[in-house]
Amino acid sequence: MAISEFWKSISAAPIGTTQDWAEPSAADPSRRWRGTVKLWMAADAGTILLSAMLALVYERHHGAVAGVRDFFHGTLIHGRSLGVLFALLSWFTASLLFISRRLHLYTPRRLPNILHEQSVSVQACLASGLLFTGTLYLIHAQDIPRSIVLITVGLVTVALSLRRLIYRLMLYRSFESGVGTRDVLIVGTGPEAQALRRQLESIRQLGYTFKGFIECNEDGSRSSACDDVVGTVDTMFQHARRHFVDEIFFTAPGQRGIVKDILDQARDHGIDLRVVPDMYDGLAWNNPIEYVGQFPTIPLHCGHVPEIRLLLKRLLDVVLSGMALIVLSPVMLAIAIAIKLDSPGPIFYLSERIGKRGRVFPCVKFRTMVCDADKMRADVMHLNERDGVLFKVSNDPRITPLGRLLRKYSLDELPQFFNVLRGDMSIVGPRPPIASEVREYKLSHLRRLDVTPGITGLWQVIGRQDPSFDSYISLDVTYIENWSILLDLVIILRTIRVVLAGTGS
């Protein structure tokens, strides 16, 4: 959908109604990894090119200037045109990328451990190197020094292995701290389910966080005294929504119709589904299926994650927030001094907010109220101008005179650029709620916690003066379902206009 059509459609829609903007979930298990695969393949291609250049410089003892001159004159290797050399390097690159993909090197979660990944990485490099040297033999390319070929293959092997090792160690470190893990429910409470649960919790490097068991009795009876059962198949997706579940493991024997119904619901909810076959006890070790630790699993559905676009969004956040803090540092210093002179109390106000997937983080703002304003909230609740969960009082007696000015131009939110640099927030996204608000959310409202909260968002530039909680949720969900980098840039530009107009309070 074009940006102009997007703004036209949401402007024409009645405020408070949520339109169905969602695209169908991907049914192809490989789709989730497509963005990551492209990124890794591009990095591998760049590594090969750089290795070839270094090998050529080392062998020919060319300086940078001489190398550029020989490149344009077509005399890098005498007797061979640049077209042939480029074709040979492209063949080596294509063979390495193809073999690496076949060995699942671009989907690191599918590889069991560091040693296996390193072994497979060396195997891919050597196999593509043999194909490359075989090609040189078949075309009688004796004029291409074998030393350059060997150095190139050696550098590629070392560079790719080292890069994957660093990435794997960083991934394990983030898993150990609970960052980037996938929340899972296990359907069934039998021995297989219990063993899978123990493995997920004991091997943190797998990157999973266990959230509970789901009973799978067709008559609804309780067959297990397990304390970690959180619900039944009928209520499974409600619990999945409440616990921000990414993936469901189906271990209980069930009828085909039940599994198919769960698969259809998993697609609708965008949750991955895996089946642990009942032939687990040694009969399925060599089958072409994905292993989670020692457990063979069959992925039935994997949702699509736009890895590259999310990486670009994070890069945009870091660059813009860093620039904003540098450019606005004199303004922020002046505001800090003014707050200290205006009223007693700290310069900054820290508030615990609920971020992506229910994570609690300290949100920082310039203080705009008197001290102990939180304790006085009950005294002004009768002045609330918002409906439902939201709370807002235009003439709040707790706000200081300077605070009114800061809120009018949204200057109190400038320190939140530090939250953006930390990764707790994004520049654009739904505003982070407080815990008391989230406790009143319905399950459907938790959709807005699926993404990183932002300093500004669609509601801030369109419906800020609308007191309806329904419009608040509707616009946040609309943003989530239509998110793009271009949309973020448009919202940022509109936010600047809103701030300069002084309508932020």
Q: What is the Cα–Cα distance from 443 to 210, expressed in whole angstroms? A: 20
Q: Which residue has the tokens 């320190």?
A: 415
The predicted pLDDT at position 9 comes to 58
The pLDDT tens digits for 19-59 are 333 333 333 444 455 556 778 888 888 898 888 888 877 77
Cβ-contact 108, 168 below 8 angstroms: yes
Parse the chain into domains and list their residue ranges: 31-176, 182-303, 308-501
Directed axis angle between helix 114-138 and helix 82-102, to 10°? Answer: 150
Q: Which residues of 107-138 are buried (b: 16+ CB within 10 A; e: fewer)?
A: bbbebeeeeebbebbeebbebbbebbbeebee
The three-state secondary structure class of 54 is helix
Q: How many helices (H) and strands (E) does the chain have?
A: 17, 11
List of residues 6+ apart from 173 with CB closer than 8 A:
none
Directed axis angle between helix 82-102 and helix 34-60, to 10°? Answer: 140
DSSP result, 416-476: HHHHHHHTS-EEESPPPPPHHHHTT--GGGGGGGSS--EEE-HHHHHSTT---HHHHHHHH
Cβ-contact 395, 382 below 8 angstroms: no
| Burial degree of 269 (CB within 10 A; 0-12, 13-18, 19+) | middle
Cβ-contact 214, 229 below 8 angstroms: yes
User: What is the topology classification, in CATH, of domain 182-303?
Assistant: Rossmann fold (3.40.50)
Cβ-contact 266, 301 below 8 angstroms: yes
Torsion of CA 230, 233, 236, 238, to 10 degrees: -110
Q: Is the pTM for the entire model greater than 0.85?
A: no
Q: Which residue type does 400 have?
A: T
One pLDDT digit (tens) per residue for the chain, 505 residues: 566 565 555 555 554 443 333 333 333 444 455 556 778 888 888 898 888 888 877 776 554 444 444 544 444 455 455 667 778 888 889 999 999 888 878 875 556 678 888 888 999 999 999 998 888 888 777 667 778 888 889 999 999 999 989 988 888 888 887 777 889 999 888 888 888 888 888 888 788 889 999 887 654 445 555 678 888 888 898 888 888 898 999 887 766 677 788 888 888 888 888 887 764 444 444 445 676 776 777 677 676 667 778 888 999 999 999 999 999 999 999 999 999 998 888 999 999 999 998 889 999 999 988 887 777 777 776 676 666 667 776 677 888 889 889 988 889 999 999 999 998 999 999 999 988 888 888 888 888 888 999 999 888 888 666 667 777 888 888 898 888 899 999 999 988 888 887 665 5
Torsion of CA 197, 200, 203, 208, to 10 degrees: -160
